[in-house]
Amino acid sequence: MSEVRRLWIPGPAGRLEAALRLGDGPACAVLAHPHPMHGGTLGNPVLFHADRALNRAGLATLRFNFRQVGGSEGTHDEGRGEVEDVGAAVQWLRGLFPERPCVLVGYSFGSWCAVRYALAHPEVAAVVAIGLPVRKYAFDGILELRRPLAVVQPAFDEFGSPDEVRTTLHGAEPPARLDVVPGATHLLPGRAPEAAAKVVEAVAWCLSLSSAGGGPAGSPPRSPASPPA
């Protein structure tokens, strides 16, 4: 596993605080944290464990703080400018690894921003969402993604049950994957390592599906991938 490198990347509203782990695998991942106004930062335990697990699987990873979080400049923009922050992180990491497919991993609010960015930017190879907040935000356009999509959802998520997520994803092409963390609520207290392991499996599945379907080249990370739920 690579050590964490703290750095700054240019963002649309000023510089963004970020944490980079280098990896020698065939893919890279940008991770977007939960809602900035409710304590979400790049240091969120679930995001931290997902980042570390993905890096152990060989991916280069980049976490970043949205605008007005930690040392990041700018002002919270209710999700509008935050989508641009996701884009800045994706473009910066792809600049380091232009030959590698880039996966977006978002948690809660971060997943909403990740999906909206990916919808408009086909260079994103796949999206993996943790705690998809389907009760809080509209995901009407998610079926237009037409790239590998996976969700890791707590069984008792207050912002969207697995059944609600399954309904939201119904009709996705290629078919989306849903993994459930049994007994867990949205914040995944005490379950971050378990959720992270499911994220690694979901990313491996997404990259395998992307390669099989003629998407961005690359082999899956070093983790067995189970079939879609």
| pLDDT of 7 over the 60 cut | yes
Q: With bands split at pLDDT 50, 70 and 90, how would you rate the model's confidence at 216?
A: very low
Strands 14-21 and 102-107: unpaired
pLDDT of residue 166: 98
The contacts of residue 102 (CB under 8 Å, 6+ apart) are 27, 28, 29, 30, 90, 93, 94, 123, 124, 125, 216
pTM over 0.75: yes
pLDDT of residue 210: 79
Distance separating alpha carbons of residues 92 and 60, to the nearest angstrom: 12
For 52-85, what is each residue's pLDDT tens digit?
999 999 999 999 999 999 999 999 999 999 999 9
Q: What percentage of the chain's residues is helix, strand, coil (to nearest 5)?
A: 35, 20, 45
Query: All domains of the chain, ordered by start, with CATH?
Result: 5-212 (3.40.50.1820)
pLDDT of residue 221: 56
- Token look-up 């948690």 returns 107
- Token look-up 């209710």 returns 78
Dihedrals φ, ψ of 119, to 5°? -60, -35
3-state secondary structure of 191: coil
Beta strand segments in the chain, E: 5-11, 14-21, 28-32, 60-64, 102-107, 124-130, 149-154, 177-181
pLDDT of residue 1: 79
pLDDT of residue 44: 98
| pLDDT of 118 over the 80 cut | yes
Distance separating alpha carbons of residues 66 and 85, to the nearest angstrom: 6
| pLDDT of 222 over the 80 cut | no
Mean pLDDT score, 186-205: 98
Dihedrals φ, ψ of 14, to 5°? 125, 180
What is the percent of the chain with per-residue pLDDT over 70, rounded to a whole number? Answer: 92
Distance separating alpha carbons of residues 85 and 155, to the nearest angstrom: 30
Strands 149-154 and 177-181: parallel
Of the given ranges (11-20, 72-81, 193-202, 205-214), which has the lowest mean pLDDT? Answer: 205-214
Dihedrals φ, ψ of 45, to 5°? -60, -40
Distance separating alpha carbons of residues 114 and 117, to the nearest angstrom: 5
Mean pLDDT score, 89-115: 98
pLDDT of residue 211: 77
